[in-house]
Chains A and B, each alone.
Chain A
């Protein structure tokens, strides 16, 4: 199964504070371990939300707002895409991750819809028409 592992933002990541060299190194080692286990598919770190924009949809109107955005804990600072055998395996891998930020951090694991699940969903949605 494929999962997206989301590193939530915190105050220091939103301020653009660069993590200390040790953390950089620890994270590099961790990524290497993920790759060596054949788990890592993709990974990216994101700029703080001050460099992002948000497009709000309301009916047919779209409103563009520049960052930064206030709800720090709801924002994301980076993500991985992993191929794992189970959610438990993803949890085990996340446990082994160094704390990604200075201060407290949260990492969220979300299973990605597989093609089969997506098709089943579409069939359910459109009934016998599909």
Chain B
């Protein structure tokens, strides 16, 4: 029974902590302190609920308790130091009875949403390193414990704990306001938030079979965060674009590895194992983004490319012309040799290997991807399709030498052998 109760408290905490921290941070203007006060409310719950039973509305109880703690703290800050200490001792002596004010807790739903947005923008503030943004987002928004975050990122717990403490201190010393940025700043700040969410997703997505459950759980947390963001800012195409991209990628989660955990290429995946519910959600989010009619951003374009694959019932039914066009658009808003390489591969599917080889040779001359094994693997593939097997073999061997991933290396050597036997 006691164990059940603790699990319930734990669950309610995971569900409510972000809203509570957000609401308190708006009052005390410090997310670190807000988290501490919210934790105090959790401690109070662990103390009171086993005796008094679980309240009818446990979330509201935690919120009200944390708000009362915040009020106490704000009062304390206004008192003389000695007086403050006396009051603290007094409060301890009283056992600090919590009388939740339920009227106060009936926050407008929009207030809660705004607080969550402020919280996410603060956790992803540019004064913090990308690593710190990720850790703080998982701690404050997803309610993950430091130990869970450490396990998910294969890092020692003290490293993550220190990263979070430093991040909170940095926010205070840099006087970062608890707010949603406005005007021009919003675009850049939003891009940072989306990047953090997508990074968390990819960290989970790259987990291999048999990994600790916390790694795949990162995908779910990232998707949940993205879905929440889409609800809180429904008119923002890039948020919807990211949701669409992640829903569609997640739909292939169970089709992308074989029984031994080896990756299966998109074209070779069993499409019957794609999750149609997630595909449907992804396509709906993409359609919503497209309806907004803004110039599509990089996430929306990547989602549109993913959608072309998701819509194709068979690999042969893939609309490669559209994918080529979408990569072309992506090149204009996110120019990179990797995107260009992907475009070349799509061209080879739409117009044949000869046209694609011209593009890939351009990339080889350009030199930016000289050490990128996938450039050589792609070139090898095109050459093999053009029956230029000797050259193909050289490219596959070159690519194999460049990757440290044993599975990829084996696959590339296999292709080199195939080319030799032709």
* Shortest Cβ gap from A43 to chain B (Å): 12
Within 8 A of B (CB), among A25-76: 32-33, 35-39, 41-42
Contacts of B220 in A (CB 8 A): 83, 85
Complex CA distance for A37 and B231, rounded to whole angstroms: 9
Pick the interface stretch among A11-19, A86-94, A98-106: A86-94
B254 within 8 Å of A by Cβ?
Answer: yes
* Shortest Cβ gap from A121 to chain B (Å): 14
A83-B223, A88-B8, A89-B15 known; A36+B113 contact, CB < 8 A: yes
B109 within 8 Å of A by Cβ?
Answer: yes
A115 within 8 Å of B by Cβ?
Answer: yes
Main secondary structure of the interface of B (DSSP, over half): helix
Cβ contact within 8 Å between B227 and A42 = no
A81-B277, A115-B273 known; A38+B11 contact, CB < 8 A: no
B247: nearest residue on chain A (CB-CB)? A41
Complex partner residue of B254 from A39, A85, A89, A116, CB under 8 angstroms: A116
A81-B277, A115-B273 known; A92+B231 contact, CB < 8 A: no
* Shortest Cβ gap from A16 to chain B (Å): 28
B224 within 8 Å of A by Cβ?
Answer: yes
B27 within 8 Å of A by Cβ?
Answer: no
Contacts of A89 in B (CB 8 A): 11, 14-15
Complex CA distance for A41 and B250, rounded to whole angstroms: 13
Q: How many residues of B contact A (CB 8 A)?
A: 25
Within 8 A of A (CB), among B198-241: 217, 220, 223-228, 231-232
Within 8 A of A (CB), among B173-211: none
Complex CA distance for A92 and B12, rounded to whole angstroms: 7
Contacts of A35 in B (CB 8 A): 227, 231
Q: Give the A-binding residues of B (Cβ under 8 A).
A: 7-8, 10-12, 14-15, 58, 109, 113, 217, 220, 223-228, 231-232, 253-254, 273, 277, 281
User: Would you mind naming 19 contact pairs between A and B with Cβ atoms under 8 Å apart?
Assistant: A35-B227, A36-B113, A37-B15, A37-B228, A38-B224, A38-B225, A38-B226, A38-B228, A39-B224, A41-B277, A42-B277, A81-B277, A83-B220, A85-B11, A85-B217, A88-B10, A92-B58, A115-B253, A116-B254
